Structure 1
């Protein structure tokens, strides 16, 4: 009984430790992506704070970028910017 309880406690502690590490990594990646968006002259800076959007708003943005990814190369090339503002 003691071993089982000890194992359960260790499992929960490890779970929270791993979750905290993943959250830290996720936040670091998000900051790096925000920096890339902010640094690109043709990018929309409105996208930087999208973590605060609702699930429906995120779905709409996802659909927009899916359509954008399906555009022919000549329409979505580097010479012509295609962001949420254009």
Structure 2
């Protein structure tokens, strides 16, 4: 993996996001849309350069504002999706 990521990372010090998004364990990675809603999640470590993960990120970037991309199809980590 190359250098640091080029997107914001949530540091959930008070665990508010963890409670709201019903995180069951760690590590847990979420991809958020432009409205900061989780559209995909993984309960396993991610390779942010893998084709499935890049497909999710591209779907979110290309989505119209207020549209919810079907990013879960590209997420092969347990096929889980946030509510």
Q: Looking at both structures, which has the greater relative contact order when contacts are Cα pairs under 8 Å and sequence separation is at least 6?
A: 2
Q: Which has the higher helix share?
A: 1
Structure of greater Rg: 1
Task: Tell me the TM-score normalised to structure 2 length.
Answer: 0.31
Q: Which has the higher strand share?
A: 2
For normalisation by structure 1, the TM-score amounts to: 0.30
